[in-house]
């Protein structure tokens, strides 16, 4: 699996605001790639640059072997883009919107018809092609937006915060569709998000904070590196539990009668439970999450302590 996107030293400022501060990363071809960060972290600026909509101040970018700034038209021919705000006309039907957008690619009439039909089938909107775009639900609109981006059969699909404003059911349905597209076509899907649960479905995550890359890896790698599992115990005798943990040099916290112990792996809970099982009213082992990863990394960066 080769690199389909390579970014080196990318910078972009708006006056005194340094939105992107010399970032480096790459995206493997055919992967589901998450660009994760809070609002204002630099995600949208980066995706606007990669999609040729915004010029960088510094840095080198290649997309599908084409150099950004030199081969922009060739880049546009191999990418599809779904923006936060739709580009489709609320008064026109979905069919009319897709046909008009598809005509920008210079397709012959029959080729255009086939391209629209194919895109509609991929995102499962063939039954609403005749309905005005403005009358659709949020989830249906997002599917239509994605169909528009798929008309030119792109090698790379960019999605900027694709589920913003959608209800949980529509979000899950949309992500199921995106995963199927990526799996069935081998298309590279690059999406920005601030939702941890969305990033967890990606093959690879790159996290940006205040315009800088602060972490990268698979979801499992990030959880292993930046989060801990926890053993939570409700003891029958808190004093006895505290004395045992202190004697064993085990660090713990307590809140509302619950002892919380950070552990490297879930199996590290076993000897603690065995040693105090007569004193345990209840316990649970909680695995680290991407929420923990995100909080730990951003808190460390905000305090000036990088990892």
- Each residue of 56-107: pLDDT tens digit? 999 999 999 999 999 999 999 999 999 888 889 999 999 999 999 888 888 8
Tell me, what's the pLDDT at 304? 66
How far is the CA of 25 from the CAs of 74, 107, 188, 282, 294, in angstroms? 21, 34, 15, 45, 18
User: In whole angstroms, what is the distance from residue 4 CA to residue 124 CA?
Assistant: 28
Least confident of 81-85, 204-208, 226-230, 245-249: 226-230
Mean pLDDT of 120-133: 95
Q: What is the pLDDT of residues 146-177, one digit of tens each?
A: 999 999 889 999 999 988 888 888 888 888 88
d(CA 103, CA 150): 13
Q: Residue 188 and residue 171: Cα distance in Å, rounded?
A: 20
**Report field, pTM of the whole predicted structure over 0.85:** no
E-strand ranges in 128-168 read 156-160
Please name the residues in contact with 32: beta carbons below 8 A apart, sequence gap of 6 or more.
178, 179, 182, 189, 191, 201, 202, 203, 204
| Rounded Cα gap, residues 180 and 123, in angstroms | 9
CA-CA distances (angstroms) from residue 218 to 9, 201, 204?
Answer: 22, 10, 4
**The dihedral formed by the CA atoms of 260, 261, 265 and 268, expressed in degrees to the nearest 10:** -120
What is the reported pLDDT for 169? Answer: 86
3-state secondary structure of 189: strand
Cα dihedral 141, 142, 147, 150 in deg (nearest 10): 150
| Tens digit of each residue's pLDDT (9 = 90 or more) over 20-63 | 999 999 999 999 999 999 889 999 999 999 999 999 999 999 99
CA 225 to chain centre: 19
């Amino acid at each position: 699996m080769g690199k389909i996107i390579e970014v080196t030293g990318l910078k972009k400022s708006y006056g005194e605001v340094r939105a992107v501060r010399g970032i480096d990363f790459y995206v493997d071809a055919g992967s589901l790639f998450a660009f994760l960060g809070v609002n204002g972290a630099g995600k949208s600026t980066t995706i606007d640059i990669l999609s040729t909509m915004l010029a960088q101040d510094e840095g080198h970018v290649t997309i599908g072997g084409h150099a950004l700034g030199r081969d922009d038209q060739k880049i546009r021919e191999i990418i599809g883009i779904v923006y936060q705000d739709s580009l489709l006309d609320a008064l026109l039907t979905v069919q009319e919107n897709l046909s008009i957008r598809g005509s920008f690619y210079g397709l012959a009439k029959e080729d255009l018809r086939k391209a629209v039909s194919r895109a509609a089938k991929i995102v499962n909107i063939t039954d609403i092609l005749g309905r005005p775009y403005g009358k659709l639900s949020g989830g249906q609109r997002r599917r239509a937006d994605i169909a528009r981006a798929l008309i030119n059969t792109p090698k790379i699909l960019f999605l900027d915060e694709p589920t913003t404003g959608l209800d949980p059911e529509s979000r899950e349905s949309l992500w199921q569709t995106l995963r199927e597209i990526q799996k069935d076509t081998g298309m590279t899907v690059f999406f920005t998000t601030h939702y941890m649960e969305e990033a967890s479905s990606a093959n690879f995550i790159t996290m940006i904070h205040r315009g800088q890359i602060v972490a990268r890896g698979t979801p499992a790698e990030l959880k292993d590196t930046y989060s801990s599992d926890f053993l939570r115990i409700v003891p029958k005798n808190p004093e006895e539990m505290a004395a045992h943990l202190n004697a064993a040099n085990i660090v713990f916290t307590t809140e509302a009668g619950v002892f919380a112990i950070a552990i490297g792996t879930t199996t590290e809970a076993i000897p603690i439970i065995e040693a105090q099982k007569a004193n345990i009213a209840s316990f649970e082992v909680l695995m680290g999450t991407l929420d923990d990863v995100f909080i730990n990394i951003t808190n460390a960066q905000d305090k000036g302590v990088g990892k």
